[in-house]
């Protein structure tokens, strides 16, 4: 009970007492003792104490094998749990054979059609998701979904769970139009089966909100996040890891919307709650430190961002080891901050380390590898090393296409970034079709109203200006301005950037009066944001912030780190 309530510190002594009592009463070799070892290990996994969990899971597995033989459902469940731990630790190569063994054993012992077989299919698919092997994950999730429907009926919480997970996969693959109806179906099914007030309903609300955030449908996302937050507070209390999770996700939304003053206290609340509930050393604490650092970064508060990124990196290393995907992500994020600060010599080795680590852990073909290639290319572009940047952009683009298909937001971002390189090099004829393709793809995938569509309009407009095609440039800049205002509000830094671009455009046309109007409007927004964000900030922070919001090309591409969201791809730990 305490574990489900997130009260881990109260759960631990009870599980420990239960374990010791069973040892005294039943001896060192008993099935119930193995169960206690497994359950205590599960608690430690939830607490991020992976080094303590591993020997307990291993002991439970070996005890089950001695007592029940090599072929038994409890052995298969124990293999599943150890695999789940290795997955949490980023040790994917060790997790895969254990998941596979568990699946094959369940099939031999229980038949091809059994809920435990469906569970194993689901968990192996989740591993493939984290490994970027989406094409292998999809048929497993589909099979698990159909098996649950066959065995449990079309209306069952486990069916809703599989719908959620398949949608989660489609979202990662950029197949938003397929993901949305599955998430909606899962939400409505759980409401019918479990009532309007249930933790699984809150999970569904959160995940649908996360999809809408990624699609740029911020106005639809916000009430869903708020409902999920209020529901978790009613059901689980004010202090629970899931409450901290939704505070983080709502903060991510506000950051995406440019509502930085609302995002910061939510991140801080989530961070403090995780520390109280999970202790100062936990992967979730590191995740919030990273997200808060990213917020400070986009606000131009670089001096506050750097120590948080560094803390997150060092914590991940202590908890997860030197070689882990989250360590690679932290290296990437710190490198990007150094890039923004013009500290290129410090950024380059961090990007290179992140790239090599992702290749080592996830293989040479993975979306994170493609992203890392893209980011290193961006650094080289910033340094004027165009000849080194181009092959990296091209390799990243081709890898995204192989892994995600020709139609995916990351493919569009790569097209945009390669176009940006050609634009910088004056190779306008090569840049134009890439910008156009990125714009059209974003419209198809994200709809006509999305911040990335506005960014593409802006980039194409500036290219036309460079080419002297002024009649084509101005309406695109105007469209981008109006879209940002509708989506992000009239006082967002991106609005200020577009106004600045329009000012430069009209100045180049000799329209001095209009240029001044746009310039003053942009400066008013920048001054307003400066007052809001840096009232008590140091002069260095203010200069950094002005530098951040004064860029002439507001882009929201794969180049920047993304805040870590907490969607729920629902795994099953067998008890």
Among 258, 274, 290, identify where a domain stops: 274
Q: State the Cα–Cα distance between residues 182 and 159, nearest whole angstrom.
A: 11
* 454 and 437 fall within a common domain: no
Mean pLDDT of the chain: 90
Report if residue 80 sits inside a domain.
no
Report if residue 452 sits inside a domain.
yes
Q: Per-residue confidence at 543, pLDDT binned at 50, 70, 90?
A: low
Tokens of residue 303, six digits = 């001096």
Q: What is the DSSP string of 327-364?
A: HHHHHHHHHHHHHHTT-HHHHHHHHHHHHHHHHHHH-S
Q: State the Cα–Cα distance between residues 298 and 279, nearest whole angstrom.
A: 28
* 328 and 242 fall within a common domain: no
Report if residue 74 sits inside a domain.
no
Closest CA to 403 of 123, 90, 128: 128
Report if residue 126 sits inside a domain.
no
What local confidence, expressed as pLDDT, does residue 573 receive?
38
The 10s digit of each residue's pLDDT in 127-165 is 999 888 898 999 999 999 999 999 999 999 999 999 999
The 10s digit of each residue's pLDDT in 467-490 is 999 999 999 999 999 999 998 889
Asked whether the predicted pLDDT for residue 533 surpasses 80, the reply is no
Provide the H-helix boundaries in 405-446. 409-424, 428-446
The 10s digit of each residue's pLDDT in 430-464 is 999 999 999 999 999 888 988 899 999 999 999 99
Report if residue 243 sits inside a domain.
yes
The CATH number of whichever domain residue 462 belongs to comes to 1.25.40.10
Q: State the Cα–Cα distance between residues 297 and 302, nearest whole angstrom.
A: 5
What local confidence, expressed as pLDDT, does residue 575 receive?
31
Tokens of residue 50, six digits = 């992976």
Angle at 116 between CA 92 and CA 82, to 5 degrees: 30
Range of the domain at 372: 364-441
Report if residue 240 sits inside a domain.
yes
What local confidence, expressed as pLDDT, does residue 14 receive?
92
Asked whether the predicted pLDDT for residue 322 surpasses 80, the reply is yes
Among 303, 331, 362, identify where a domain stops: 362
Contacts of 112 (CB under 8 A, 6+ apart): none
The 10s digit of each residue's pLDDT in 194-244 is 999 999 999 999 999 999 999 889 999 999 999 999 999 998 889 988 999
The 10s digit of each residue's pLDDT in 367-417 is 999 999 999 999 999 999 999 999 999 999 999 999 888 998 999 999 999
Q: State the Cα–Cα distance between residues 367 and 562, nearest whole angstrom.
A: 14
Report if residue 241 sits inside a domain.
yes
The 10s digit of each residue's pLDDT in 554-566 is 443 333 455 555 5
Report if residue 262 sits inside a domain.
yes
Q: Per-residue confidence at 546, pLDDT binned at 50, 70, 90?
A: low
Say which range, 50-59, 126-135, 330-339, 541-550, has the weakest mean pLDDT.
541-550
User: What total number of domains does the chain contain?
Assistant: 4
Contacts of 565 (CB under 8 A, 6+ apart): 210, 213, 248, 249, 252
Tokens of residue 567, six digits = 């969607």
Among 274, 309, 324, identify where a domain stops: 274
* 542 and 453 fall within a common domain: yes
First to last CA, the chain: 14
What local confidence, expressed as pLDDT, does residue 535 receive?
52
């Amino acid at each position: 009970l305490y574990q489900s309530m997130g009260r881990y510190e109260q759960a631990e002594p009870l599980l420990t007492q239960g374990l010791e009592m069973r040892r005294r009463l039943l001896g060192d070799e008993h099935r119930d003792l193995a169960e206690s070892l497994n359950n205590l290990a599960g608690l430690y996994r939830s607490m991020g104490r992976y080094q303590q969990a591993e020997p307990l899971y291993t002991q439970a597995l070996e005890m089950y094998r001695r007592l029940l033989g090599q072929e038994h459902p409890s052995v298969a469940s124990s293999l599943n749990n150890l695999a789940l731990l290795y997955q949490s630790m980023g040790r994917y190569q060790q997790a895969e054979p254990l998941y596979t063994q568990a699946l094959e054993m369940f099939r031999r012992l229980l038949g091809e059609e059994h809920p435990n077989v469906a569970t194993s299919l689901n968990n192996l698919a989740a591993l493939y998701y984290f490994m970027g092997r989406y094409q292998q994950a999809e048929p497993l999730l589909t099979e698990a979904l159909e098996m649950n429907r066959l065995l449990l009926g079309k209306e069952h919480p486990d069916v809703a769970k599989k719908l959620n997970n398949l949608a989660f996969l489609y979202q990662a693959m950029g197949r938003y139009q397929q993901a949305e109806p599955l998430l909606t179906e899962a939400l409505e099914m759980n409401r019918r089966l479990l009532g309007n007030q249930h933790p699984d309903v809150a999970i569904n609300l959160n995940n649908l909100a996360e999809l809408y955030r990624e699609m740029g449908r911020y106005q639809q996302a916000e009430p869903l996040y708020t409902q999920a937050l209020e529901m978790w507070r009613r059901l689980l209390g004010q202090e629970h890891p899931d409450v901290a999770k939704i505070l983080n996700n709502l903060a991510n939304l506000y950051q995406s919307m440019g509502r930085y003053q609302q995002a910061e206290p939510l991140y801080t609340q989530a961070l403090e709650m995780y520390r109280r509930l999970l202790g100062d050393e936990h992967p979730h604490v590191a995740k919030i430190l990273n997200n808060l650092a990213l917020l400070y970064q986009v606000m131009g508060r670089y001096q506050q961002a750097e120590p948080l990124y560094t803390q997150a990196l060092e914590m991940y290393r202590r908890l997860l080891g030197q070689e882990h995907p989250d360590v690679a992500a932290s290296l990437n994020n710190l490198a990007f901050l150094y890039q923004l600060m013009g500290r290129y010599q410090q950024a380059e080795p961090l990007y290179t380390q992140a790239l090599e680590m992702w290749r080592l852990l996830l293989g040479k073909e993975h979306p994170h590898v493609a992203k890392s290639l893209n980011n290193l290319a961006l650094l080289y572009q910033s340094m004027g090393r165009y000849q080194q940047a181009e092959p990296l952009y091209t390799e990243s683009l081709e890898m995204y296409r192989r892994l995600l298909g020709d139609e995916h937001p990351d493919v569009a971002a790569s097209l945009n970034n390669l176009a940006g390189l050609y634009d910088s090099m004056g190779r306008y004829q090569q840049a134009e079709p890439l910008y156009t393709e990125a714009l059209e793809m974003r419209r198809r995938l994200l709809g006509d109203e999305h911040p990335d569509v506005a960014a593409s309009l802006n980039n194409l407009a500036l290219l036309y200006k460079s080419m002297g095609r002024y009649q084509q440039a101005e309406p695109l800049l105007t469209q981008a301005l109006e879209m940002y205002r509708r989506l992000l509000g009239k006082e967002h830094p991106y609005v200020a950037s577009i106004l600045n671009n329009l000012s430069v455009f009209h100045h180049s046309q000799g329209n001095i009066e209009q240029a001044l109007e746009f310039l003053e409007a942009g400066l008013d927004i920048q001054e307003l944001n400066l007052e809001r964000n840096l009232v008590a900030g140091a002069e260095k922070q203010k200069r950094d912030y002005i530098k951040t919001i004064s860029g002439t090309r507001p882009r929201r591409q794969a180049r920047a780190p993304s805040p870590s969201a907490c969607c729920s791809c629902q795994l099953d730990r067998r008890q």
